[in-house]
């Protein structure tokens, strides 16, 4: 079956530090990969996505590259801000069978950025 594994958290950084949150996946075929973010008190929001190998998704200074050879989709940002404090979820969608678009999520990584 499909599964997503994220690095253990929480992650605490100082403002302007470099961020990496690791994500690896297990899936048959060619899944699409996503990062969702959940700010306090809000619903999950799509941050970025990549639909095929070697694609790079990017948004708001965050980037992630779909690496099929290592089955990874690590999230990076060069300089984090306090406003980036949130929970980050890696997820995949696998079109095989009758998936109907349902997402498989990792366990989430709590990011706290201090001034």
Binding residues vs another protein (CB under 8 A): 4, 32, 36, 41-46, 51, 89, 91, 93, 95, 98-108
Q: Distance between CA 6 and CA 56 in Å, rounded?
A: 18
Which residue's CB is nearer to another protein, number 63 or number 105?
105
Which residue's CB is nearer to another protein, number 43 or number 115?
43
Q: Distance between CA 115 and CA 113 in Å, rounded?
A: 7
Which residue's CB is nearer to another protein, number 21 or number 104?
104
The percent helix, strand, coil of the chain (3-state, each to 5) is 5, 50, 50
Q: How far is the CB of 10 from another protein (least distance, A)?
A: 10
């Amino acid at each position: 079956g499909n599964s997503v594994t994220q690095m253990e958290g929480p992650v605490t950084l100082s403002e302007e530090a470099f961020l990496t949150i690791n994500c690896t996946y297990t899936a048959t075929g060619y899944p699409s990969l996503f990062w969702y973010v959940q700010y306090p008190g809000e619903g999950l929001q799509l941050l970025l996505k990549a639909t095929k190998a070697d694609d790079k998704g990017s948004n708001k200074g965050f980037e992630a590259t779909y690496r099929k050879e290592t089955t990874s989709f690590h999230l990076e940002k060069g300089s984090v801000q306090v406003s980036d404090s949130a929970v980050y979820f890696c997820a995949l969608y696998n079109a095989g069978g009758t998936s109907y678009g349902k997402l498989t999520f990792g366990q989430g990584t709590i990011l706290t950025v201090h001034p």
